[in-house]
Chain A
């Protein structure tokens, strides 16, 4: 269709403008252009992110004082469940790979598109279907699901809420995620431009590669697990029903065999973004390229062996606890390697502070706090104390929101001029960053303390000794919301009225910056010959 239709320079708005005969919505939702599909994902993800944030704000508002009855108890259960399901399966899992991965992967390796463009479009349609089914599960039947995003049995088998529909949504979304992973692996193997050796891949591509393997190998386990929950409810199998000889612990194992590796689906692409941004704004080659690429693969492989650290209090042999605790500590090492490499890249670089770098530094701070507190839970002894408390909630919001979220915002600010050909207001972007960072820490840090004091997660109400921390946390949620609103407004204004950005405003060295902004529909007029690495910068024009 439009894949090879227009070549470079045909239009100043590149892939954003449709050919005359096929404009409008149809030219987007049936487009096989990876950049258009990526933008479709981005639009859906951000919309659902807004919905998830709104639910989070409502939850925080309800928890502002003890005894508050803004929400009925059952509604509260539904709100935290739907918040989790939306944020995990519809926002964070697809986040960077489906949006920026789709837009940038072919550009980074010098290809025309991904290996299977139509399959790529099909993945997006599956994603959309999954989102619709998830919405159906909220608004139909006898009430929105109230199990928490983990769908733990036996409660998920017995509750009368709409769990059957919700797990089918998760199944469809998993399928979408698998197909994206499959497409990316094949693309990276088959479509690298001449001269684009494995050691010249950008670290973002390396992270997508590691992520794609996790998507392909771990997601089917989630598929079968949620199918079983569905079958338990609809066909009455009883495989997890303790009253009939089933074992709920086996459900937990199956669930976490996917859902621990899933956190690497969430975080690895963000790490890739960070690895690509830091050298650009330090004007220095990345420190330890091999180690960063290798650590992505290590995280992906060792990360599939640590799932049972979610189950230290569920009942396991002491030996199993010991082994899983040990492996959890091991898997922290490659993440630490990345942090050291990023900091070493900044060391003695000629640093230019621009919004993408700010978000990147925010990532490093938030991820370090989240990662180190993760080890507290990975230590079997300490975990007994903090298990299922606010400490966990704080930890994974630091990692997932502070990590993946800020990583995604960094990507948005870094590639914005490439995708839209315009520049946002950089001072406003910086201001939004500081408000967001402040809001996140005020929102989530008190939760560490509340957790250590013994406040359990998912509880509807709490005694007075937790009131102060809960209040501070709610105030933090307001600060964060203001920061987010400012950031999105600024980006929106940039799309509308931003000044022309030019092909390479940051002076970066990866291939997408050799194209006009926005890139034309068929990407490269001819497939490039690659002769240098992704971080071999030209002399800085700003220092001339």
Chain B
């Protein structure tokens, strides 16, 4: 079925509105974070020292690089180089999976130390440290779900590009998926310092 009208500006406007809603969704969690950081800043400081800055930093680099490839894939399609576009998209998806694997390792290490929501170990800690970890799991978890959705969306767009539904003259779906991916990236860029660096 073909859309009744092709409206490039409309599609972009709709996507930006959707991105606003994503920002606000995470905004609720950032609000909680700031309120609790204010209340428990010392506990946050102690708890954050147990997070692995190396793993977090590696993930930051992975995501930023993947965003770079994403942008390149759009340019490639605009230049009519479909094969290169597909390759770059595949690379983006691969890096997203790498991010998730890395995150899984990080979470797993925490679980092994008895750190998971509601665990005995956490309950024995000062209350602020437990809150820190609850926020850590909630925020990186919700972000992880978004990365996973991104993997799905980008894979789907790859199929559309292969089939020629998304092509040089009509690439707004690819561009919008790219916008989504950059947002996911951007949210991590805020999460990383909040949990790993500033406390």
Contact = CB atoms under 8 A, between A and B. Distances in A.
Query: Do A and B actually bind?
Result: yes
Contacts of B3: 117-118
Given A1-B1, A231-B138, A245 B40 contact: yes
B57 interface: no
Contact of A216 (B5, B17, B118, B131): B17
Nearest to A187: B10
Interface residues of A, number: 44
Contact of A113 (B4, B14, B137): B4
B198 interface: no
Contacts of A4: 4
Interface stretch (B23-31, B90-98, B181-189): B23-31
A338 to B, nearest CB: 26
Contacts of B138: 228, 231, 237, 239
A254 B34 CA distance: 13
Interface string A249-290: 010011001000000000000000000000000000000000
Given A236-B117, A244-B127, A224 B29 contact: yes
A135 B132 CA distance: 36
A235 B39 CA distance: 23
A257 B31 CA distance: 11
A218 B24 CA distance: 8
A43 B123 CA distance: 50
B21 A220 contact: yes
Contacts of B18: 182
A112 B24 contact: no
A327 B60 CA distance: 42
B131 A245 contact: yes
Interface in A188-224: 189-191, 216-221, 223-224
Contacts of A238: 117-118, 130-131, 134
A228 B14 CA distance: 27
A99 interface: no
Interface string A59-86: 0000000000000000000000000000
Contact of A221 (B28, B117, B142): B28
B13 interface: yes
Contacts of A217: 20-21, 24
Interface in B5-54: 5, 7, 9-10, 13-14, 17-18, 20-22, 24-29, 31-32, 35-36, 39-40
Nearest to A247: B35
Contacts of B157: none
Q: Point out which of B1, B24, B27, B117 has the most chain A C-beta atoms below 10 A from its C-beta.
A: B24
Nearest to A235: B117
A191 B3 CA distance: 14
Contact of B32 (A117, A218, A223, A250): A250
A305 B21 CA distance: 18
A129 B131 CA distance: 34
Contact of B14 (A116, A225, A227): A116
A235 B1 CA distance: 42
Given A112-B5, A224-B29, A185 B134 contact: no
Contacts of B32: 239, 250, 254
B81 to A, nearest CB: 30
Contact of B27 (A116, A221, A228, A253): A221
A216 B20 contact: yes
A235 B27 CA distance: 21
A358 interface: no
A224 B28 contact: yes
B115 interface: no
Interface of A: 1, 3-4, 112-113, 115-119, 178, 181-183, 185-186, 189-191, 216-221, 223-225, 227-228, 231, 235-239, 244-247, 250, 253-254, 257
16 contacts: A115-B10, A117-B4, A182-B18, A182-B21, A185-B13, A216-B20, A216-B21, A217-B24, A220-B27, A231-B138, A235-B137, A236-B117, A237-B134, A245-B131, A250-B35, A257-B28
Nearest 5 interchain pairs by C-beta: A245-B127, A236-B118, A224-B28, A220-B24, A220-B25
Interface of B: 1, 3-5, 7, 9-10, 13-14, 17-18, 20-22, 24-29, 31-32, 35-36, 39-40, 117-118, 123, 127-128, 130-131, 134-135, 137-138, 142
